[in-house]
Amino acid sequence: MNEVIILCGGAGTRLASVVPNKQKALAEVRGVPVLDMIISGLIQNGFKRIVLATGVRGDQVRAHVADIAVPTDCEIVVSEEKEPLGTGGAIRSALSYIHGEHFLAINGDAFFGGINFNEALEYHRGKNAGVTLVAVAPRTEADYGRVDIATDGRAGFREKAGAGSLMSAGAYWMNRRLIAELPEGPLSAENDFFPRLAAEGRLYGYRSAGYVTDIGTPERYRTANGEV
């Protein structure tokens, strides 16, 4: 059973000028909340257990998903952080809701298309990777996580480095046992965890021809809504 943790606990500071007083995962793109788009895409990819890692305005997320209709064999559960934990800390905190050996973690402020997450999982398993980053073609702006993939599949990662041929899609297949070894508390996956894994040779990259639409800034939010 494919399982996923959606990270939807960030404060959304950069987006606040255009989406005030709302959890950014609930920001609407052409009338549809981004979180709904993400969940729909994941269900189409065969995910049966969806864990929402909430923090800031988590009550909004919980109330919203209570009204989302999902297939009878699919389950949505909510993990609540009591203090800001960062991306890595939020994943570690939500781990008790994950039962399988591998799971996907995905950012809650972007929706995707054309990414075969099942194929990425097989790649991840085949490499016996600790974490496998899904990588796509980069956007024009340089504020993205740069992914460099060697011929053997091992990856280098630099957060907000840009200027690379591949961009992190904000989606990561993870080994549950590896994440369970992380200490509880605040941790940035992008700034602390991934660089360490890369240095240890346990970070891999999966190149996808799909795309990601990120709404994390006012400019990208307006573009996603066809306003630019």
Predicted confidence (pLDDT) at residue 11 exceeds the cutoff of 90: no
Give the start-to-end residue ranges of the domains of the chain: 2-133+168-182+212-224
As a whole number, mean pLDDT of residues 4-24 equals 92
More reliable by pLDDT, 1 or 100:
100
Considering only 72-81, 127-136, 141-150, which range has the smallest mean pLDDT? Answer: 141-150
Q: What is the per-residue pLDDT for 121? A: 97
Contact (Cβ atoms closer than 8 angstroms) between residue 130 and residue 171? no
Per-residue pLDDT at 60: 96
Annotation: CATH topology of 2-133+168-182+212-224: Spore Coat Polysaccharide Biosynthesis Protein SpsA; Chain A (3.90.550)
> What pLDDT, in 10s, does the model give residues 17-76?
999 999 999 999 999 999 999 999 999 999 999 999 999 999 999 999 998 989 999 999
Would you place residue 228 in the very low, low, confident or very high pLDDT band (cuts 50, 70, 90)?
very low
Distances (CA, A) of 218 to 99, 110, 157: 37, 13, 25
Measured CA to CA, the distance from residue 113 to residue 94 in angstroms comes to: 25
Tens digits of residue pLDDT in 164-188: 789 999 999 999 999 999 999 999 9
DSSP 8-state assignment for residue 219 = H
pLDDT score for 227: 72
- Alpha-carbon distance values, 163 to 35, 141, 146, 159, 196 (Å): 29, 9, 7, 11, 21
User: 3-class DSSP state for residue 34?
Assistant: helix
